[in-house]
Amino acid sequence: MGEAILSRLLSTHTYSPDRIIVSHPRSERRDYLQSQYGVVVVAENWQVECDILLLAIKPQQLFDLEVTSEVDQISCNLLVSILAGCSLERLADAFSTKLPIVRAMPNTPAQVGAGMTCFACNDLVTEDHKQRVKNIFLAVGEVLEVPEYWMDAVTGLSGSGPGYVAVAIEALIDGAVMMGLPRSVAQTLAVQTVLGSAQYLQTTGIDPALLKNKVTSPGGTTIAGIHALERHGLRLALMEAVKAATLRSEELDR
């Protein structure tokens, strides 16, 4: 995700390469990032001095004393974390200096500029800070500020959601193959159908139930398919997926 944000910041000209410093412990990754993006790279976190620090480590690493002590030495004016399940309070406890902290949750479509990022802020974050955070994540898609108590559910829905959608698309493809379509054709149809439906809902702003009703005629093919979905529990399965991912996000903060 860190590289996805980096590439979009550069491709959208939000930042120039000379204004970005990347810290990475592996020499091969440093060499790659420098050659691919032209940014400044360093081997040690304490070598970084910046205005905005984007923390893109694994959540478990926040509790690694060696990692935390290194990051704690970084001089910055604003900390932005994309760590799943790490609350603002836990982030603040990990650092000795009181900082404006933003907890953000982008998702995988950020890699193609179609991501969804929600963020929450601690009390030290100013309106100017928020605007700078929005500018960063607008480079990867849509941005929405939310209260922090929503963030675990945000993680369960939009953070993990691309995985659910991928499974649904894969199932649609397999169903079409079962009914005689070549897999390449089935994938084209399934992906474009999901994309088009999402764009239609986004453009019109209508409730998804209304779109369902528009394509569901009495005694037709769509209602037969929806009946099968209801009989096999698709709606409940997706609700349970969001619930499970939300609860897991809560567990990561304990």
Say if 64 falls within a structural domain.
Answer: yes
Shared-domain flag, residues 231 and 194: yes
Find tokens 């529990």 and name the residue.
Answer: 233
Task: Provide CB contacts within 8 A for 49, sequence distance 6+.
Answer: 21, 74, 75, 76
CATH number for the domain that contains residue 121:
3.40.50.720
Chain center to CA of 191: 20
| Number of compact structural domains in the chain | 2
Q: Of the ranges 62-66, 115-119, 178-182, which one carries the lowest mean pLDDT score?
A: 62-66
Measuring CA to CA, how many Å separate 133 from each of 15, 93, 170, 246? 13, 21, 34, 24
Using the 8-state DSSP alphabet, how is residue 159 labeled?
I
Structure tokens at 176: 């079409």
* Mean pLDDT, range 231-250, rounded to an integer: 96
The three state secondary structure string of 84-130 is CCCCHHHHHHCCCCCCCEEEEECCHHHHHCCEEEEEEECCCCCHHHH
Q: Of the ranges 43-52, 156-165, 176-185, 243-252, which one carries the lowest mean pLDDT score?
A: 43-52
What distance in Å separates the CA atoms of residue 34 and residue 41, rounded to the nearest whole number?
A: 6
Shared-domain flag, residues 15 and 139: yes
Structure tokens at 207: 């409730």
Q: Is the pLDDT of residue 171 over 80?
A: yes
Structural domain ending residue among the three candidates 129, 151, 173: 151
Structure tokens at 136: 């960063």
Determine the structural domain holding residue 140 and report its residue range.
2-151
- How high is the pLDDT of residue 20? 93
Shared-domain flag, residues 6 and 93: yes
Shared-domain flag, residues 127 and 185: no
Structural domain ending residue among the three candidates 151, 180, 198: 151
Shared-domain flag, residues 7 and 92: yes
Biggest alpha carbon distance in the chain?
A: 67
Shared-domain flag, residues 25 and 137: yes
Shared-domain flag, residues 92 and 181: no
Shared-domain flag, residues 246 and 167: yes
Q: Give 189: exposed, middle or buried? Use CB within 10 Å, 0-12, 13-18, 19+.
A: middle
pLDDT-derived band at 66 (thresholds 50, 70, 90) equals low
What distance in Å separates the CA atoms of residue 83 and residue 75, rounded to the nearest whole number?
A: 20
Say if 156 falls within a structural domain.
Answer: no
Amino acid of residue 227: H
- How high is the pLDDT of residue 140? 95
- How high is the pLDDT of residue 191? 98
pLDDT-derived band at 63 (thresholds 50, 70, 90) equals low
Q: Is the pLDDT of residue 213 over 90?
A: yes
| Portion of the chain with pLDDT greater than 70, in percent | 96
Shared-domain flag, residues 135 and 183: no
Structural domain ending residue among the three candidates 112, 127, 151: 151
Q: Is the pLDDT of residue 67 over 70?
A: no
Chain center to CA of 131: 19
Which pTM value belongs to this model?
0.88
Within 10 Å of residue 109's Cβ, how many Cβ atoms?
18
Q: At what angle do helices 161-178 and 183-204 cross, to 10 degrees?
A: 130
Q: What is the pLDDT of residues 82-103, one digit of tens each?
A: 998 889 998 888 877 788 999 9
